[in-house]
Amino acid sequence: MSDDSQGCLVPTARPEPDWAAFVAIDWADQTHAFKLLDLATCRYEQGTLRATADGLNEWVTALQRRFGDRPIAVALEQSRGSLVYQLNKYPHLVLYPVHPNMAAQFRQALHPSGSKSDPSDAAVLLELLEHHRSHLRRLTPESAETRELQMLVEHRRTLVDEKTACSNRLTAALKSYFPQALEWFGDIDSPLACDFLEQWPSLQQLHRTKPNALHKFFTGHHCRGEDRIQERITAIYKATPAVTDGAILQAGSIAVTGWVRVLKALAVGIAEVDQRLKQVVDMHPETYLFEGLPGVGPALLPRLLAAFGTLRDRYDHVQQLQAYSGVAPVTERSGKTMLVRFRRACPKFLRQTFVEFADHSRKKSQWARAFYDLKRSQKMGHQAALRELAFKWQRILFRCWKERKPYNEEVYLRAREKHHSPLATHVEWTEVAGFRKPRLKNA
């Protein structure tokens, strides 16, 4: 299953409705191929429909006239995207997303020759829907706040990744002709550095600028400390140009100015997303469950909310969450051989959410730090130790989520002591300002 930004995949163990038909759609850019099974007549039909909003609406409306409001099961090789978003608005359609790997391997089993076409792909999807529906999961829409969070947090990560890539390109461009700028500014993508480089993209232009203008620039950007400002101005006028070739200077200045403008636009986009995320988090009904977690900040809080959602029948037990998110490893057994390996087929952003939370938690939670240190002392690598910690956090958060109870570190540590957990031996209780606080022993 792929990660889902518009709903969650709910197990099909519940009773099924009285289906009118089964339909499979193979998505394409211009036209969609479909295959339909009319359950009343047991006849198959296939064809194409226009890949436009009007074309899809005409097709769905024709099905509704034909079958009334009776439910129709629809299989498609998507769990997000334009086709899913458009089909979601029709209440009589029940969507069954099929993971591309499942569809590809099932196609290979049915067609070992490797032959492939849009109609045959639709037929493969219909075969899965008709005979192997128990292995598929229905797409059930999440709450509006959760769906928006799911899209916003992924969009924010895309913007942050773009900003990082752009910052690396800017750094590479500066190294070629103006390396001093990298020494003067700690973060080359900061507002101060970007405004500076947009105004003076080369050392030669800086040398033609009067000291008063530089002083005014730094004070206008709230640079504190007169000594620090004078130190920068002195360094600017003492700097020796790395390159004097006019062609390199001209091309490099244009490239740097362009990357700076892209960085500033990305920073504005990230700020807008952060503002909206805060508003949605404040409106979300389950913010109280996660806002008090150790290490959770304004970036991780909406990601955890989006990871769990509000539909508690999505997972029957925590092992489903751990496997789906990719935090749990995969065990392969054959005869006397057993191999435990890293899980690769999973929503990468979802796994990253839990691992990043685990990393932040060990800086605020005493038991999390003790657990991480214990794993590292056992010769486990940094990332593997973080996944182990994320695996443990998932068990805790899943219980809190299911029972709608916020996490309480003191209650958790008391429970560990009661069960004589080895982890409890690494933490002791101290009196701080009249309150009992946990801390690491010998810390």
Phi–psi pair at 66, nearest 5 degrees: -75, -45
Q: What DSSP state is assigned to residue 95?
A: E
Reported pTM: 0.81
Mean of pLDDT over the chain = 88
Closest C-alpha to 289, from 390, 404, 142: 404
Dist. CA 383–CA 375, nearest whole Å: 11
The answer to whether residue 14 scores a pLDDT higher than 90 is: no
Task: Report, as an integer, the average pLDDT of 372-386.
Answer: 91
Task: Report, as an integer, the average pLDDT of 272-281.
Answer: 96
The answer to whether residue 295 scores a pLDDT higher than 50 is: yes
Which residue segments constitute the domains of the chain, with CATH numbers given?
Answer: 7-141 (3.30.420.10), 149-280 (1.10.287.4070), 290-440 (no CATH)
User: Among 86-95, 108-117, 434-443, whose mean pLDDT is lowest?
Assistant: 434-443
Of 250 and 4, more confident: 250
Confidence of residue 441 (pLDDT cuts 50, 70, 90): low
Confidence of residue 336 (pLDDT cuts 50, 70, 90): confident
Confidence of residue 12 (pLDDT cuts 50, 70, 90): very low
What is the structure's pLDDT at 437? 54
* pLDDT tens column, 248-273: 999 999 999 999 999 999 999 999 99
Burial of 234 (0-12, 13-18, 19+ CB in 10 A): exposed
Dist. CA 191–CA 167, nearest whole Å: 12
What is the structure's pLDDT at 342? 86
- Ramachandran assignment for 108, one of left (phi > 0), alpha (psi -120 to 50 degrees), beta (any other): alpha
What is the structure's pLDDT at 5? 41
Dist. CA 294–CA 407, nearest whole Å: 9
Helix axes 191-199, 246-283, angle to 10 degrees: 150
The answer to whether residue 289 scores a pLDDT higher than 90 is: yes
Confidence of residue 134 (pLDDT cuts 50, 70, 90): confident
* Backbone Cα Rg of the chain: 28
Task: Report, as an integer, the average pLDDT of 167-180.
Answer: 96
What is the structure's pLDDT at 417? 74
The answer to whether residue 126 scores a pLDDT higher than 50 is: yes
Half-sphere exposure of 88 (CA within 13 A, CB side): 20
Percent of the chain with pLDDT over 90: 62
Task: Report, as an integer, the average pLDDT of 346-355.
Answer: 93
Residue type, 421: S
What is the structure's pLDDT at 83? 86
Task: Report, as an integer, the average pLDDT of 110-133.
Answer: 89
Confidence of residue 28 (pLDDT cuts 50, 70, 90): confident
* pLDDT tens column, 187-219: 999 999 999 999 999 999 999 999 999 999 999
Residue 204 makes CB contacts below 8 A (sequence gap 6+) with 241, 249
What is the structure's pLDDT at 440? 55
Closest C-alpha to 406, from 264, 296, 266, 275: 296
